[in-house]
Amino acid sequence: MKKILLLLSIAAFTAPSINAQTEKGDWMVGGYFRLNTSKNNTQIGLSPNAGAFIINNLAVGANLLLDYSKFGENKRTDFGIGPFVRYYFTQANVRPVMHGSLNFTSSRNQTAITSTTENGLSYFLGGGAAIFLNEQVSLDGLMGYQHSKLKGFDGSGGFAFNIGFQVYLHKRQVDRLRGNSSY
């Protein structure tokens, strides 16, 4: 794993500069995937997102949170939706980013005896890097603080690391998809 990250870093720094599409009017679509398995324990998470650049290098949008966990006979399903904001600091191949998101969540816990549903909030605040593989795709790594609070329970939080990707669409591409092709 360390060798792969080292090779990606070297390729990103030595590749010719990529003029990625993070300008006002452009869009981004992507997300993060998480999988963790061990004996009697399975966790699967998916966090898709979509956003628009409201000014150069600043995107705002919406994200979903879909998580499933099974610990022995206990099952938990989480669903969340909310806004995110992301800022890119440079126009280089490897761009430092700051990212914040807030999710309104619903969590369903199921045991052999009971099933309960609780609602609450979760947020993530952190930073990382977007490694642009080409003009329209980046591999993203984010780390920061994640906190969750369900109604009636104490909140919990800690360090989180996410890896995922983003696809960037230039304003002209978005206009074509909408049927406003005047180019």
- Asked if 26 contacts 53 with a C-beta cutoff of 8 angstroms, the reply is yes
Q: pTM here? A: 0.79
**What pLDDT, in 10s, does the model give residues 63-116?**
999 999 998 889 999 999 999 999 999 888 899 999 999 999 999 999 889 999
Q: How many CB atoms sit inside 10 A of residue 20's CB? A: 25
Predicted pLDDT of residue 20: 58
User: pLDDT at position 105, please?
Assistant: 94
Residue ranges in the chain modelled with pLDDT below 70: 1-20, 181-183
**Residue-level pLDDT at 31:** 94
- Please state, in angstroms and rounded to a whole number, the distance separating the CA atoms of residues 46 and 40: 21
Please list the residues that pair with 130 across neighbouring strands: 95, 140
CA distances 91 to 26, 67, 98, 175, Å, are 14, 33, 14, 24
What is the rounded distance in angstroms from the CA atom of residue 122 to the CA atom of residue 143?
Answer: 15
Tell me what pLDDT residue 182 has.
Answer: 58
| Helix (H) or strand (E) segment spanning residue 181 | none
* Sign of torsion over alpha carbons 27, 104, 115, 45: positive
pLDDT number for residue 136:
92
